[in-house]
Copies of this chain bind each other. A is one copy, B any other.
Amino acid sequence: KKIAVLPGDGIGPEIIDEAVKVLRQVEKVFGLSFEFQFAMVGGGAIDRAGTPLPQETLELCKKSDAVLLGAVGGPEWDENPPELRPEKALLALRKELGLFSNLRPVVLYEGMEKSSTLRPEVIAGVDLIVVRELTGGIYFGEKTRQKAEGGEEVATDLLIYYEHEIERIVRLAFQIARGRKKRVTSVDKANVLESSRLWRTVANRVAREFPDVEVEHMLVDNCAMQMVRRPADFDVIVTENMFGDILSDEAAILTGSIGMLPSASLGEGSFGLYEPVHGSAPDIAGQGVANPSATILSAAMMLRHSFGYEEAAGAIENAVKHVLSRGYRTPDLATHGQMAVSTEEFGDRVVEELS
């Protein structure tokens, strides 16, 4: 299997190193074989190649079976024009590779309760997944900037959804729900937005194909509330691109383990892009203190979704859990009585568990 590896900026390279190390161990233990090919992306690519997503990087991704990405971005590039920002690479990768869905599972890891700002009894049992539409909506609709009458400026962004875009992501959410608690919460703003009204109509139609799955519609403002109020009640949350951006970040912080959360961006086939939910954390880059868990768990998602190696995926997930339950923590999560270890050492422990 060919894996395109894009370490990116900030802590990206450090956490990717650990994920690759773990994958090499998986090769040995499970008798598999991966071909890793590295490429530039994000701020580093802007500096070295003049664009956040060089053509070679895109080509490499296209001829690979999956992409493993670290993180992009940093203050050096924050004032750049839109086309020369690191995040542009993410948007371009999603669009060019047809990755219309973003899956973000949020689970509470045992022993991690203390890192949450929510009460332990509220986050007990949190096990939800946000299914976000990733190549449509206001992210990719037409943008304009003009002079209006009187000389002032006026800016627009178009939120646009086609039926087929809604249908495929909602259907995916229902399919995922079948393998889980069989509950889908479809989030929109149907009381205000026309695109949301179309969303709701299509969601209801797709829901009829899944009579065994319960469906509920929730307004986005209410969902932002209910996530804080009763996060354990959610199973699968499906929503459009922008709402998904906001709600998946909110969901990610609930259990206090954002350093633990992986994500998968998928298209029609088995190809996918895998990356941690957290960002490039330039403030701690290069210090060997970053938490590689989310990236290692993203690699596990890759094995499952893109390669069908369920057993190896589960083995990685269990290894991470065991390392945690043995009390090892990177500094972001270490509290009294736990062993604070470096990024590299955490990766070593996971490798050890796999053996």
A143 near B229: Cβ-Cβ < 8 Å = no
A250 near B225: Cβ-Cβ < 8 Å = yes
Tell me which residues across on chain B come within 8 A of A163, comparing CB atoms.
148, 152-154
* Stretch from A116-124, A264-272, A281-289, A295-303 contacting the other chain: A116-124
Counting chain A residues whose Cβ lies within 8 A of the other chain, the interface size class is 35 or more
Tell me which residues across on chain B come within 8 A of A138, comparing CB atoms.
138, 159, 192-193
Tell me which residues across on chain B come within 8 A of A141, comparing CB atoms.
156
In the bound complex, what is the Cα–Cα distance between A253 and B231 (angstroms)?
13
User: Is A68 an interface residue, CB under 8 A from the partner?
Assistant: no
Name the contact of A250 in the complex, choosing from B118, B144, B245, B250 (C-beta under 8 A): B250
A197 near B155: Cβ-Cβ < 8 Å = yes
* Stretch from A13-21, A216-224, A320-328, A345-353 contacting the other chain: A216-224
Give A166 Cβ to nearest chain B Cβ, in Å. Answer: 9
Tell me which residues across on chain B come within 8 A of A220, comparing CB atoms.
245-246
User: Is A112 an interface residue, CB under 8 A from the partner?
Assistant: no
A118 near B189: Cβ-Cβ < 8 Å = no
Q: Is the interface of A mostly helix, strand, loop or mixed?
A: helix
Residue of B nearest to A195 (CB): B155
In the bound complex, what is the Cα–Cα distance between A122 and B256 (angstroms)?
13
Q: Mark A327-353, 1 if CB is under 8 A from B, else 0.
A: 000000000000000000000000000
User: Is A162 an interface residue, CB under 8 A from the partner?
Assistant: yes
Residue of B nearest to A114 (CB): B119
Tell me which residues across on chain B come within 8 A of A247, comparing CB atoms.
224
A224 near B246: Cβ-Cβ < 8 Å = yes
Within 8 A of B (CB), among A134-181: 138-139, 141, 143-145, 148, 152-164
Give A135 Cβ to nearest chain B Cβ, in Å. Answer: 13
User: Is A228 an interface residue, CB under 8 A from the partner?
Assistant: yes
Residue of B nearest to A143 (CB): B194
B122 near A148: Cβ-Cβ < 8 Å = no
A156 near B194: Cβ-Cβ < 8 Å = yes
Q: Given contacts A118-B118, A139-B192, is CB(A145)–CB(B250) below 8 Å?
A: no
Name the contact of A87 in the complex, choosing from B162, B191, B197 (C-beta under 8 A): B191
User: Is A198 an interface residue, CB under 8 A from the partner?
Assistant: yes
B224 near A156: Cβ-Cβ < 8 Å = no
Name the contact of A158 in the complex, choosing from B159, B229, B248, B254 (C-beta under 8 A): B159
